[in-house]
Chains A and B, each alone.
Chain A
Amino acid sequence: MDNTERIKYLIIGNSAGGIGAVEAIRESDKTGTISVVSDEPYPAYSRPLISDFLAGRRSIDKLNYRPIDFYEQNDIKTVFGNRVTGLNLDDNTVQLESGQKLAWDRLLLATGGTPIVPPMEGREAGGVFTFTTLSDAIAIDDYLQQKPDANAVVIGGGLIGVSISESLLKRQIKVTIIEMKERILNVILDEKTSYMEHKAIKDSGAEIITGHTVSKINSNTHGEVYGVTLDNGDVIPCGIVIIAIGVRPRLELVNGTDIKVNRGIVVDRHMQTSVPGIYACGDVAEAYDFIYSENRLTPVWPNAYLGGRTAGLNMTGNATDYPGGTNINAMKYFGIYIVSAGMISSPDKSYQELIAEHNDVYKKLILKEGLVTGMIFSGDVDRAGIIYNLMKDRVNVESFKRSLISDDMGLLSLPESVWRDRLATVPTVNGVDCAVS
């Protein structure tokens, strides 16, 4: 006999997706063994909060996503600081870096994303970092304690780049953001709102260079960074470089196996992969997107949790469909509140855009054949969830679409059948109303 331990529910990844799954599993199966494996050494923390930590606004113990006794309370075996190095689909086992082997009845791959680092010269230099984990944030913090006067170059003007720029500015570090495309946040914002952010960032004292890339990171003979060279030959001196180009699904465990991969791990509406008994969710998975009616990567926290929850329910035998997710973002960088969901601009002329603009308020909807396929609200973001749920439920809004961008938009902007459905109507049991009045 070998010493392989058998686990009923084996979860790889201890973040939004993994926690969503274990919470769902424990709703119906209180005793089945659960193991959560992560190569990060910490209990689950809120990944988006690493920027608050770096800014000095939040201590490490305030980053926890769940109470400290979460794993104990839920009877979860934790294997932290240990990497899964291989999957064996023939005997349903995983190999850990420590040499240990675990066998599973049901497996969830919630391995998330890995930062993209292009093969540019100088990327190994001291003072060059990525920013996706708490360990990254701690390393950057340590480095800046040593070099508090360093100027920073942030490569990439997406969500992670803007997020760390805000943290660095709060530490009085001079920041230059370099974005290859014509505008920052171009994946999640339209021109109008990305310009608002652009202006707010500039007003906070940062530089933004768009339409250029870094072709080389320059380092001295000690291997320490002292600047970057752009594709047009310009040189920017700096003491720290953050590579924040984006993340891609972390596929090392599934590449070369029978598990079907497209851009991410392909899952069905039960979040099950092409191999029965193996599930995937979160940033690593390509799951159903209700706006495009096809599988897509939607690397945001809420979808990771919900996908994990759906996987967990199905892993316990409770057949449940993933409602689908789309790219959603709520942001407040540099004091500007913006929410966006789905498409950010019309792909072609068959789409219609509705825009309301006054004072600081900007509201845009993108529609096709009566369905909302995208929204961006800024300034007045209250009640935006009413519209997001119309998108999600695929409600035809043709007859009342204009009221959705008005200032007094509310449930009464919707047809009676829809608001009745949403409101707390009197609960019924077996069709009988059970109000006590």
Chain B
Amino acid sequence: MRKIYIKEDVCIGCGLCEVYCQLQHASVHDLIKAFKKRGPRPLARARVEAKGNLSFSVRCRNCEEPQCVYACLTGAITRDIETGMITVDEEKCIGCCTCMLVCPLGAIKQDKEHKKMIKCDFCQGEETPACVANCPNEALYCVEYDSVNKEVMAKSPSPF
């Protein structure tokens, strides 16, 4: 499965990942229109935190033991066994926020207008998610988590 990782030492806290996430999930895919013209602003599924010199971008990490899935009152959140992706079925979700109360990252939040929960959906099949593609400092990257072989591991950079 694919996961998004962060390199917080090169994150400059510019917030572009949030902006491109909003744009990706807006009804119109035009920056000006999405932010200026159409009713309520689209919501970002990533959030940038900053404190002093430190900043990083947080989103759902598709936990191996997804507490949100276990807690969901209605069965609206499920894990795709093929991709490992955790998704919210908007039709089933009642917006009760139980999943939010158990998420260790605070990565799932409520779309107050529609009273449904939203979270990172990996841009629904995009090759590279919008946040990763548009981070000016390459502080975000996408990893194929299962297919890592030893050779690749040996060549990879050291952990941050």
Interface residues of A (CB under 8 A from B): 20, 46, 48-49, 52, 62, 64-66, 301-302, 305-306, 309, 328, 330-332, 337, 339, 341, 381-386, 388-389, 410-412, 422-429, 432-437
Chain B residues 55 to 80 lying within 8 A of chain A, measured CB to CB, are 56, 58, 61, 67, 70-71, 73-75
From A389, A424, A425, A437, contact of B156 by CB (8 A): A437
Q: Write the nearest CB–CB distance from B124 to chain A, whole angstroms.
A: 19
B153 & A330 in contact (Cβ 8 Å cutoff): no
List the A residue with the shortest CB-CB distance to B104.
A389
Chain A residues with CB under 8 A of B138 = 437
When chains A and B are docked, how far (Å) is the Cα of A437 from the Cα of B100? 31
How many A-B residue pairs have C-beta atoms within 8 angstroms? Tell me. 149
CB<8 Å pairs between A and B, sample of 13: A20-B70, A46-B73, A48-B96, A305-B71, A306-B70, A381-B97, A385-B104, A388-B101, A411-B105, A423-B56, A425-B160, A432-B153, A436-B156
B100 & A385 in contact (Cβ 8 Å cutoff): yes
When chains A and B are docked, how far (Å) is the Cα of A265 from the Cα of B100? 29
Chain B residues with CB under 8 A of A20 = 70
From A49, A305, A341, A436, contact of B101 by CB (8 A): A341
Q: Write the nearest CB–CB distance from B65 to chain A, whole angstroms.
A: 9
Contact stretch, chosen from B17-25, B30-38, B46-54: B46-54
Indicate the member of A306, A309, A435 with the most B CB atoms within 10 Å: A435
Chain B residues with CB under 8 A of A435 = 5, 141, 143, 156-157, 159
B3 & A301 in contact (Cβ 8 Å cutoff): no
From B4, B75, B157, contact of A437 by CB (8 A): B157
Chief secondary structure at chain A's binding surface = mixed
Q: Write the nearest CB–CB distance from A406 to chain B, whole angstroms.
A: 11
A332 & B58 in contact (Cβ 8 Å cutoff): no
From A46, A66, A305, A330, contact of B97 by CB (8 A): A330
A46 & B74 in contact (Cβ 8 Å cutoff): yes
- Known A433-B158, A435-B156, A437-B156; contact A422-B71, beta-carbon cutoff 8 A: no
A424 & B4 in contact (Cβ 8 Å cutoff): yes
Chain A residues with CB under 8 A of B148 = 427, 429, 434, 436
From A301, A381, A384, contact of B71 by CB (8 A): A301
- Known A382-B109, A423-B105, A426-B159; contact A410-B49, beta-carbon cutoff 8 A: yes
- Known A302-B70, A306-B70; contact A384-B156, beta-carbon cutoff 8 A: no
Chain A residues with CB under 8 A of B95 = 332
Q: Write the nearest CB–CB distance from A334 to chain B, whole angstroms.
A: 14
When chains A and B are docked, how far (Å) is the Cα of A50 from the Cα of B156? 52
Q: Write the nearest CB–CB distance from B91 to chain A, whole angstroms.
A: 8
- Known A384-B106, A436-B156; contact A424-B71, beta-carbon cutoff 8 A: no
Interface residues of B (CB under 8 A from A): 3-6, 47, 49-51, 54, 56, 58, 61, 67, 70-71, 73-75, 91-92, 94-98, 100-106, 108-110, 138, 141, 143-145, 148, 150, 152-154, 156-160
Q: Write the nearest CB–CB distance from A364 to chain B, whole angstroms.
A: 15
List the B residue with the shortest CB-CB distance to A338.
B97
Q: Write the nearest CB–CB distance from A149 to chain B, whole angstroms.
A: 29
Q: Write the nearest CB–CB distance from A270 to chain B, whole angstroms.
A: 17
B98 & A301 in contact (Cβ 8 Å cutoff): yes
Chain A residues with CB under 8 A of B157 = 433, 435, 437
When chains A and B are docked, how far (Å) is the Cα of A179 from the Cα of B18? 47
Q: A422-B104, A433-B153 are in contact. List 18 more A-B contacts (CB 8 A).
A: A305-B70, A328-B101, A330-B97, A330-B100, A339-B100, A382-B106, A382-B110, A383-B100, A385-B103, A412-B51, A412-B54, A423-B6, A424-B3, A424-B61, A426-B160, A427-B145, A432-B154, A436-B141
When chains A and B are docked, how far (Å) is the Cα of A330 from the Cα of B97? 6
A386 & B96 in contact (Cβ 8 Å cutoff): no
When chains A and B are docked, how far (Å) is the Cα of A34 from the Cα of B140? 44
From B50, B102, B110, contact of A388 by CB (8 A): B102
